[in-house]
Copies of this chain bind each other. A is one copy, B any other.
Amino acid sequence: MSEAARKEGREAALMALSALLGARLSAAAAIREAHGRDESWHAVAMPDAVAFAETTDEVAAIMRICAAHGMPVIPFGAGTSLEGHVSAVHGGLSLDLSRMDRIIEVNTADLDVRVEAGITRKVLNDYLRDTGLFFPIDPGANATLGGMAATRASGTNAVRYGTMRENVLALTAVMADGSIIRTGTRARKSSAGYDLTRLLIGSEGTLGIITELTLRLYGIPEAVRSGVVPFASIEGAVDAVIETIQSGLPVARIEILDPLSIRACNAYSKLALAEVPTLFVEFHGTEASVAEQADRFGAIAAGHGGQQAEWASKPEDRTRLWEARHNAYYAALAFQPGKKGMVTDVCVPISRLAEAISGTLADLETSFLKAPIVGHAGDGNFHMLLLMDPSDPRDLAEATRIHDLMVARALSLGGTCTGEHGIGEGKIKFLEAEHGPGVGVMRAIKQALDPKGILNPGKIFAG
């Protein structure tokens, strides 16, 4: 397509969208700028306009207009992604779903809920509290459920409850041609045809736009015990995690923080933790079972140089602890003001976690960059938050070098380049290394379902 034809198509699309949406279509620079960035170091790429959709039918109408005019569409939830997922690298329309935040139905008898895609996890859980149920997936950021599904998010609770992959029963999605599909049912299992639910989960807005989700819920545990366990060495802390998982202990959360992370969290969240390798743990169950779990864990930790756990006895202490953990990314950024974070995200088989982390620490020892390490250790998933200035070529090259080493090591250990953040624009180069000819199959699916390449172009695949 010639540049003139392209420009003409975009203008025609914007006119039609304006007629459809009125004031809910915005071309204001501040709004476009806010929709062209996520929380990562990736460069802002502004869309041509931002649409605030209110219904699935409206999303479908928007898609039909954009399809007719070859206009890219980038779904936008809360903008908390970490790999440049929402940036409009080819311009186009940012489709903001945050006004689609209704809870459509709660089925307490079946432990499920149907929501619109723009609701955030905190709003959902606040609403659910009175029912005695909760949705466990917890990526830290207060992301939208649609965004969490699109990136196959997980977080601290995944070791016990699984990820978005395991906890979405059904989706409503608008496809590239504006058709609306509903995948899955409320039944807990099905063998009826291809698993379109799981295909859309993790597709990062490149195959369809998720507008509604049916989610699994869980009973709020009768008893919860959270605590902090300092270790003499990072190896000891990792080995305690490995033994905990291998022993089948049903830990609900088991997070690792290195001394640098603890220092950043102490400063940012006003804590006074010892600046040593530390595990944050949590157990869910009955009073008796959490006590038993905590005892068993304590014995394992002691065997690897762990000190006595300091238990958060009051709910507010527990909340404070996990808020500090969730703010570790912001704490790290505050640690070196002016720097941004290249947030890495490898995940390896649990038995190889010690090698993966110690290898990364050895790489960092030779580097001039600082990088706190935090991780969902129970899943074999950890993040090195490389603090760097992306406008400084020396910083960027060094961060890239260390990240490349980390991913190569994870792949050689049988792992993945990303446990929960997705490919976005930041990890495209790793996809081929991880999947080889599988990338060709992914491209064929993309081509079949989005032949014009208008759904979040430039993400997952180059182009």
Binding site for B on A (CB under 8 A): 107, 109-112, 151-154, 158, 162-163, 165-166, 175, 179-183, 185-196, 198-199, 201-203, 207, 218-219, 242, 246, 248, 289, 345, 347-351, 379-381, 410-411, 414-423, 427, 430-431, 434-442, 444-445, 447-449, 460
Assembled-state Cα–Cα distance A403/B429 (Å): 50
- Shortest CB-to-CB span from A92 to chain B, Å, is 22
| Residue numbers in B under 8 Å from A246 (CB-CB) | 109, 111
| Residue numbers in B under 8 Å from A158 (CB-CB) | 189
> Given B109, B194, B379, B417, which contacts A203 in the complex, CB threshold below 8 Å?
B194
B187 with A194: CB separation less than 8 A: no
Other 5 A-B pairs with CB < 8 A, given A107-B349, A188-B347: A183-B438, A187-B416, A193-B460, A198-B199, A199-B445
Going nearest first, the 5 A-B pairs with the smallest beta carbon separation are: A448-B448, A198-B198, A109-B351, A190-B416, A186-B414
> Given B185, B193, B195, B418, which contacts A165 in the complex, CB threshold below 8 Å?
B195
Q: Knowing A185-B434, A199-B199, A445-B445 touch, does A179 contact B440 (C-beta < 8 A)?
A: yes
> Given B219, B431, B449, which contacts A441 in the complex, CB threshold below 8 Å?
B449
| Residue numbers in B under 8 Å from A417 (CB-CB) | 192
| Residue numbers in B under 8 Å from A163 (CB-CB) | 189
What are 9 inter-chain pairs, A to B, with CB distance below 8 A? A107-B349, A152-B190, A187-B381, A188-B350, A191-B423, A192-B427, A194-B442, A194-B460, A195-B201
| Residue numbers in B under 8 Å from A447 (CB-CB) | 448
- Shortest CB-to-CB span from A411 to chain B, Å, is 8
Q: Knowing A219-B248, A445-B449 touch, does A194 contact B199 (C-beta < 8 A)?
A: yes
- Which residue from chain B places its CB closest to the CB of A345 in the assembled complex? B191
> Given B181, B202, B431, B445, which contacts A436 in the complex, CB threshold below 8 Å?
B181
A188 with B380: CB separation less than 8 A: yes
A441 with B175: CB separation less than 8 A: yes
Q: Knowing A151-B191, A201-B195, A441-B449 touch, does A182 contact B423 (C-beta < 8 A)?
A: no
Q: Knowing A193-B423, A434-B192, A437-B179 touch, does A187 contact B109 (C-beta < 8 A)?
A: no
- Shortest CB-to-CB span from A232 to chain B, Å, is 23
Assembled-state Cα–Cα distance A292/B4 (Å): 73
A441 with B188: CB separation less than 8 A: no
| Residue numbers in B under 8 Å from A431 (CB-CB) | 192-193
Assembled-state Cα–Cα distance A434/B420 (Å): 31
- Which residue from chain B places its CB closest to the CB of A242 in the assembled complex? B109
| Residue numbers in B under 8 Å from A180 (CB-CB) | 437
| Residue numbers in B under 8 Å from A162 (CB-CB) | 166
B420 with A189: CB separation less than 8 A: yes
| Residue numbers in B under 8 Å from A449 (CB-CB) | 441, 444-445
B442 with A196: CB separation less than 8 A: yes
Assembled-state Cα–Cα distance A111/B158 (Å): 17
Assembled-state Cα–Cα distance A49/B439 (Å): 33
Q: Knowing A109-B246, A246-B111 touch, does A348 contact B448 (C-beta < 8 A)?
A: no
Assembled-state Cα–Cα distance A104/B186 (Å): 37
